[in-house]
A = this chain, B = another copy of it.
Amino acid sequence: MTGWQDIEAEVLRRIQTRDWPPGSAIPNEADLATDFGVARATVNRALQSLAEAGWIERRRRAGSRVALHPVRKATFAIPVIRAEVVESGRVYAHRLILRETGLPPADVAFDPGPHLHLVAQHLADGAVHAHEDRWINRAAVPGIDAVDLAEISANEWLVGHAPFTHGDYAVAARQAGDLAPVFGCDADHALVTVRRGTWNGAQPITVVTLTFAPGHVVRAAL
């Protein structure tokens, strides 16, 4: 009846009711274990969960404190675009527009030397769903040169063959501009862009900028 989730809920309640106000220290694990009548490991599990969610901050020797700014985190899935389109009940297709080797622009801070530059479009029911502009670090992805990227999108191939340790993700807005003909909208239409970079350790893998069709929404869950 008293699982770690119950402990978590009770501690969270004390934080939210300000029994334990922001910035204050909370009892150490051993004491809480005694209070709740459970093993310390159970309390540990509960507090780790709260720390991961941003409610408390934990430091050895210093103990645990209620976070001053309870920061909630949102997570959203990074789907293979094909799956995203298919799940919405539309027919997916992929079109390679440009494939060349060259030096990336300065804001793509890769290793020196030529990189693979791709421009492609993801189609949903024949209409352009997303326009993709990608740079790939050939040194980091051996084998990419032999792949027929007209057959399988770089997006999909990389997901399966180029493991990465971390990345960043930035969502912004832009006017359609010279992409207006691609989407069949006015040049001043507001479009969502996503720029994603991935690394394997210190080695950059790829940077991709996706521009989505009018009306596209990037969703996440809290």
Measured CB to CB, the residues of A under 8 A from B are 12, 16, 22, 54, 69-80, 83, 159-161, 163-164, 166-175, 188-192, 196, 198, 215-222
Name A175's closest neighbour in chain B (CB-CB). B190
A76 & B73 in contact (Cβ 8 Å cutoff): yes
Q: A220 to B77, alpha carbons, bound, how many Å?
A: 12
A-B pairs with the 3 shortest C-beta distances? A167-B222, A173-B173, A190-B190
A71 & B75 in contact (Cβ 8 Å cutoff): no
B79 & A69 in contact (Cβ 8 Å cutoff): yes
Copies of this chain per assembly: 2
Q: A83 to B68, alpha carbons, bound, how many Å?
A: 11
Question: Which residues on the B side are within 8 Å of A198 (C-beta)?
Answer: 222
Q: Within the complex, which residue of B78, B83, B215 is in contact with A73, where a contact is CB–CB below 8 Å? A: B78
Question: Which residues on the B side are within 8 Å of A12 (C-beta)?
Answer: 163
Closest-CB distance, A183 to chain B (whole angstroms): 12
Q: Within the complex, which residue of B77, B170, B175 is in contact with A219, where a contact is CB–CB below 8 Å? A: B170
Question: Which residues on the B side are within 8 Å of A218 (C-beta)?
Answer: 170-172
Q: A75 to B72, alpha carbons, bound, how many Å?
A: 10
A54 & B77 in contact (Cβ 8 Å cutoff): yes
B171 & A192 in contact (Cβ 8 Å cutoff): yes
Question: Which residues on the B side are within 8 Å of A189 (C-beta)?
Answer: 175
Question: Which residues on the B side are within 8 Å of A167 (C-beta)?
Answer: 72, 74, 221-222
Q: A78 to B166, alpha carbons, bound, how many Å?
A: 20
A73 & B77 in contact (Cβ 8 Å cutoff): yes
Question: Which residues on the B side are within 8 Å of A80 (C-beta)?
Answer: 69, 71
Q: A209 to B189, alpha carbons, bound, how many Å?
A: 20
Question: Which residues on the B side are within 8 Å of A219 (C-beta)?
Answer: 168-171
Q: A174 to B216, alpha carbons, bound, how many Å?
A: 11
Closest-CB distance, A122 to chain B (whole angstroms): 15
28 A-B pairs within 8 Å (CB atoms) are namely A16-B161, A69-B83, A70-B159, A71-B78, A71-B79, A71-B80, A72-B167, A73-B75, A74-B220, A75-B75, A76-B220, A78-B222, A166-B221, A167-B222, A168-B219, A168-B222, A169-B222, A171-B218, A171-B219, A172-B192, A172-B215, A172-B217, A173-B173, A173-B174, A173-B192, A174-B190, A188-B188, A190-B190
